[in-house]
Amino acid sequence: MAEVELRGFGWRHAGRRAWALRGVDLRIEAGERVLLLGPSGAGKSTLLAALAGLLAEDSGEQEGTARVAGQPSRTARELTGIVFQDPQTQLVMARSGDDVAFGLENRGVPAAEIWPRVDAALAAVGFPYGRDRRVEALSGGEQQRLALAGVLALRPRLLLLDEPTANLDPAGAALVRAALATISGVTTVLVEHRVAEALPLVDRVVVLEPGGGVQADGVPEKVFALHGEELAARGVWVPGRPLPARLAACPPGTELLRGDRLSFRHAGAARPALSEVDITVRGCEALAVVGPNGAGKSTLALLLGGLLGPTTGTVRASPALAGADAARPPHRWRAAALTSRIGSVFQNPEHQFVTTQVRDELALGGVPPSIVGLLLDRLGLAGLAAANPYTLSGGEQRRLSVATALAGAAIPGPRPLDSPRLLVLDEPTFGQDRRTWIALVELLADLRDLGHGIVTVTHDADFVAALADRAVPLPEPPTPPHAPHPPHPDPPAPPPFPTAPPHPHSPAPPRDRTEPR
């Protein structure tokens, strides 16, 4: 009897015309470790939810069967455990040990057995603290390890992992992968975008085709050797395939925005979120702000985006960017003026949606329909023009939020359309498949070559290599004495980029860049 058996399985969410998943035939034997791949929208998360028995019968329409250990997956819930992307919304209790105990209490495990099993699960994932450690004092990677411990404590026969490292910085992701590597004897199905990092954890790769069942299946070497080319073209992150690099086509132009000794401290916070950062952004230049979680990268993006005023230090826009408004800092500008000069893309795209249709979202503020159409095409959203932004997949939402920031430049006003603009993007490549990732790099590179300035906050080293002309590394935040961090398994390499901002009157810095890998 196979551990997992799908026969002609399909699922259509209630209220949707298209099937999220259709015609999937798949057998997984006990103890196998499977990496589930597929382009954006192939239904990978839906398949995991189906195996976990989390698709309620009244929430959609099903075809075929999904069985776990011979039972329909909905009745085999005790045999499966699932770890999701976001640690914030899967931890339940305030103390780490209590959180692991939560599932054991639910399953009615006798009280005497609970704490030994909690301790064993915490040890299995290499949790470095005691049971009383407060959950909010953990880093993202540690929280995700805790979530894994909470699932392992239940001794599942089938472990499902839905992009468990997607929300983490490289160090946090490495922590989670190290924990996963030590687990043995459990049938595992992993969904993960970063294939190269995930391959050491698996012995079989299954590729889903959107709406078309299983496209390829086998040991990783064979699958990638036979189908690598085609899979890469369809958006799967095939390891070892080179990514296009886009060097700037023009030398750095006029200065657009400058931040001097920027610091920001939240009201009542013990330490500043950002301290003493100097940064200069020029036209025809793409900067990458890099650094570990908690270094203040997102805060810097908000300061440069004119959305937050610095606690100390100044943000100054040049007349080339702001005309007469250059006398005032961006966070004092009217919103409409800000949008026409600086476009911001937030880390969570949903924060930025203000209408109920993708098309309206782009047309907001009077953007001409021709530009709306162009952006929809360019970012692969043309088929979704009438959809509600909240119903898009994570990757689609991210592209829509990038498109809205670009659309701001086309709002009719006193500013000529070709005047330089600044774009500030916070993790724009999260959740993109290979194809949309490349489209995003190409689009941003085109904008840069038209003379715009681009600032991206990112953990994505490939993205930095492909696009950035200069990196601005932010240092690790000082750790408070009560929250020791374990040493990071892969310390970041020293930055190969010039990092000091140029003197305002000196010539532009040499344009070093890393070699694309």
Partner 1 sequence: MRFAAPMADPGALLARRNPVAKLAASGVLTLALLATLDPVAPALALALELAVVPLFGVAYGTLLRRAFPILLSAVGVVVALGVFAAQRTGEALFAIGPLVITTGLLNNALGLALRVVAVALPGVLVFASTDPTDLADALVQHLKAPARFAIGALAAFRLAPLLGAEWELLRMARRARGVDPGRNPVAHLRLFWSTAFALLVGAIRRGTRLAAAMDARGFDSGVPRTIARPQRFGAADWALVTAAAGAAALALGTSLALGTFRPLLG
Per CB under 8 A, residues contacting partner 1 are 52, 54, 77-78, 80-82, 84, 86, 88-95, 98, 101-111, 114-115, 118, 134-136, 150-151, 154, 302, 305, 307-308, 334-336, 338-340, 343-344, 346, 348, 350-354, 364-365, 390, 404-405, 408, 411
Q: Which residue has the tokens 């940064």?
A: 279
Q: With respect to partner 1, which residue has the nearer C-beta, 425 or 440?
A: 425
Q: With respect to partner 1, which residue has the nearer C-beta, 76 or 216?
A: 76
Alpha-helical segments (H) within 366-493:
369-378, 394-407, 434-449, 461-467
Classify 163 in phi/psi space as left (phi over 0), alpha (psi -120 to 50) or beta.
left
Task: Tell me phi and psi for residue 361, to 5 degrees.
Answer: -60, -40
Q: With respect to partner 1, which residue has the nearer C-beta, 89 or 370?
A: 89
Q: Measuring CA to CA, which residue among 393, 368, 328 is closest to residue 45? A: 393
Q: With respect to partner 1, which residue has the nearer C-beta, 112 or 493?
A: 112
Length of the chain: 517
Q: In sequence order, what are the residues at sequence separation of 6 or more whose Cβ sits closer than 8 angstroms to the Cβ of residue 164? A: 83, 84, 85, 144, 147, 148, 176, 180, 190, 192
Closest distance between partner 1 and the C-beta of residue 317, in Å? 15
Closest distance between partner 1 and the C-beta of residue 237, in Å? 25
Closest distance between partner 1 and the C-beta of residue 410, in Å? 12
Four-CA torsion 499, 426, 514, 293, nearest 10 degrees: 70
Closest distance between partner 1 and the C-beta of residue 337, in Å? 9
Task: Tell me phi and psi for residue 336, to 5 degrees.
Answer: -65, -40
Closest distance between partner 1 and the C-beta of residue 309, in Å? 11
Task: Tell me phi and psi for residue 303, to 5 degrees.
Answer: -65, -45
Q: Which residue has the tokens 């080319």?
A: 229
Q: With respect to partner 1, which residue has the nearer C-beta, 134 or 222?
A: 134
Q: Measuring CA to CA, which residue among 404, 409, 467, 398 is closest to residue 438? A: 467
b vs e for 497-516, b when ≥16 Cβ sit within 10 Å of the residue's Cβ?
A: beeebeeeeeeebeeebbee
For residue 154, give the DSSP letter. T
Q: How far apart are CA 97 and CA 156, in angstroms?
A: 19
Closest distance between partner 1 and the C-beta of residue 75, in Å? 11
Q: With respect to partner 1, which residue has the nearer C-beta, 75 or 479?
A: 75
Closest distance between partner 1 and the C-beta of residue 311, in Å? 15
Contact in structure between 37 and 208 (CB atoms under 8 Å): yes
Q: With respect to partner 1, which residue has the nearer C-beta, 207 or 308?
A: 308
Q: In sequence order, what are the residues at sequence separation of 6 or more whose Cβ sits closer than 8 angstroms to the Cβ of residue 131? A: 95, 96, 97, 98, 100, 115, 118, 119, 122
Q: How far apart are CA 175 and CA 336, in angstroms?
A: 43
Closest distance between partner 1 and the C-beta of residue 345, in Å? 8
Radius of gyration of the chain (CA): 24
Q: With respect to partner 1, which residue has the nearer C-beta, 95 or 194?
A: 95
Q: With respect to partner 1, which residue has the nearer C-beta, 92 or 508?
A: 92
Q: With respect to partner 1, which residue has the nearer C-beta, 243 or 364?
A: 364
Closest distance between partner 1 and the C-beta of residue 40, in Å? 20
Q: For residue 259, list its beta bridge partners.
A: 279, 315
Q: With respect to partner 1, which residue has the nearer C-beta, 65 or 88?
A: 88
Closest distance between partner 1 and the C-beta of residue 49, in Å? 8
Contact in structure between 432 and 440 (CB atoms under 8 Å): yes
Closest distance between partner 1 and the C-beta of residue 107, in Å? 5
For residue 135, give the DSSP letter. G
